[in-house]
Structure 1
Amino acid sequence: MPTKSNPLSLREEQKLQTRAKLLEGAKALFAERGYAAVRVDDIAAAVGCSRATFYLHFAGKQELLRAIAEQGTVPTALHFYEDLDRVLDTGSRADFVDWVTRAIEWFHQYKDLLPAWDEATALEPEFREIARQGILALPNAMTSYLARWPADRQDEARLRVELLVAQLERFFTRWAMQGTIDVTADRAAEVLTDIWFPALQAPAT
């Protein structure tokens, strides 16, 4: 890691700048065209570099999309489910409504990349496994929630969180992107809370 006494060389600085440009250029192209329609040559051309330069930084567009996700999407998703763990500890329905509202806002933040992510998941077996591992990581971040479930029902506890993630994503896609669900965000948060707040309560012992 560079320090004041050991700064980056000009070559290293240029390499980091090129990588950042590739990430931003690809993000814009994926948002505009989706995943399948974007070629490595398109990404390279968008940032003014060669195909060879692209491959110095990424093995392909699949690795690039993963890097975009790791840059912001995955860490913030984990943060959201760590926050859900805290919310469930409070036992407050109102806090859960607030959490669902923030989750909807989170999807808004990343909505331009969701179609590309879905395409890559459908088309690329390796990416499908990456996406699966990402989903599995979310309930694992909810340590307090899992601790309230008996050992023989841990798989069910995790499944409930995974199904919550799936429903939130599907709702957002149909509501905000396809326009096939006509409801306000506030009303949606209330109804989703009616469904999921009781569903995430641990069974009585």
Structure 2
Amino acid sequence: MVSVVTDSERPTLRQQQKQRTRTALLETARRLFVERGYAAVTIDDITSDVGCSRATFYLHFSGKPDVLRRISAETAQQRAVSVYADLDEVLGTGTRAEFTAWLRHAVEWFEENRDILPVWDEAVALEPSFRPIAAEAVAELPAAMPRYLQRWGEARSDEARLRVGLLVTQLERFFTRWAVQGTLDVADTDPAETLTDIWFPALLPPEARHSDLGR
């Protein structure tokens, strides 16, 4: 059945222009953040490049932390949640080899977002108001893993969430030092295999480790 969009459902010219302006602000802010760094970019820099006023900017965003949050939410966070939902599947029914494959998939996500990662780190360091936003983004990842949390049990849910948070942190720092900064030399090793040695057992509840480690 073909749905019919009525005139009342179509966006008005004003709404279309508003959306174009919002998109231009997001795209410009991302480009400037990546080129110059978070701290060096001002709201005036963004609005001047787009050709709009500060008042227009504030119609869409509450400030620089908010615009970075929107950039992350609309370009990276939804995909990140999907990656960790896949991890929930792997930990529930998968093998060690499948976990290694998942790690390679996770590194691909970092590769796709490598230009914005330093901006995110800088904002966390400099903007106290951005830290709750960053914390919420990390908290969404174990929330996408209900079977994993169930295996740990309600009494140990905080520990289970912490382990996922530590995994996220180590993967981010590994990727930054290896692929962005070039300060970590993996030589001829396979880092995914080494990370599997660390994290496959660490994400299993203690009572499940002996039965699952050999799979």
TM range (shorter): over 0.9
Residue of structure 1 in register with 2:154 after alignment: 151
Residue of structure 2 in register with 1:127 after alignment: 130
User: In structure 2, how many angstroms separate the alpha carbons of the residues matched to 1:71 and 1:136?
Assistant: 17
Structure 1 counterpart of 2:182, one-letter code: G
- Greater CA deviation, 185-194 or 91-100? 185-194
Unaligned segments of structure 1, at least 5 residues: none
Unaligned segments of structure 2, at least 5 residues: 209-215
- 1:134-178 per-residue CA deviation (whole Å, 9 max, x = no partner) reads 112211211111111133222111111110000000001100111
- Greater CA deviation, 75-84 or 42-51? 42-51
- Which of 183, 186, 191 aligns to 1:188? It is 191
SS in 1 for 2:102: helix
Go from structure 1 to structure 2 and tell me whether the alpha carbon gap of 1:185 and 1:42 turns closer, same or farther (over 3 Å shift).
farther
Structure 1 counterpart of 2:97, one-letter code: A
Cα deviation for residue 77 of structure 1 reads 1.1
Go from structure 1 to structure 2 and tell me whether the alpha carbon gap of 1:144 and 1:184 turns closer, same or farther (over 3 Å shift).
farther
- Greater CA deviation, 161-170 or 136-145? 136-145
The TM-score, its normalising length taken from structure 2, stands at 0.89
User: In structure 1, how many angstroms separate the alpha carbons of the residues matched to 2:77 and 2:188?
Assistant: 23
- 1:119-146 per-residue CA deviation (whole Å, 9 max, x = no partner) reads 1111222210111121122112111111
Counterparts in 2 of 1:110-125, with a 5 A limit?
Answer: 110-125=113-128
User: In structure 2, how many angstroms separate the alpha carbons of the residues matched to 1:99 and 1:171?
Assistant: 16
The TM-score, its normalising length taken from structure 1, stands at 0.93
User: In structure 1, how many angstroms separate the alpha carbons of the residues matched to 2:192 and 2:90?
Assistant: 15
Q: CA RMSD in A?
A: 1.6
Q: Verify the 8 A CA contact 1:149 1:203 in the aligned structure 2.
A: no
SS in 2 for 1:148: helix
Corresponding pairs, count: 203
- Which of 31, 35, 41 aligns to 1:32? It is 35
2:63 is equivalent to residue 64 of structure 1: no
- Greater CA deviation, 91-100 or 148-157? 148-157
User: In structure 1, how many angstroms separate the alpha carbons of the residues matched to 2:20 and 2:110?
Assistant: 28
User: In structure 1, how many angstroms separate the alpha carbons of the residues matched to 2:24 and 2:187?
Assistant: 37
Structure 2 counterpart of 1:157, one-letter code: A
Structure 2 counterpart of 1:14, one-letter code: Q
Q: Verify the 8 A CA contact 1:81 1:141 in the aligned structure 2.
A: yes
Counterparts in 2 of 1:38-117, with a 5 A limit?
Answer: 38-117=41-120
User: In structure 2, how many angstroms separate the alpha carbons of the residues matched to 1:136 and 1:88?
Assistant: 18
Residue of structure 2 in register with 1:5 after alignment: 7
Structure 1 counterpart of 2:152, one-letter code: W
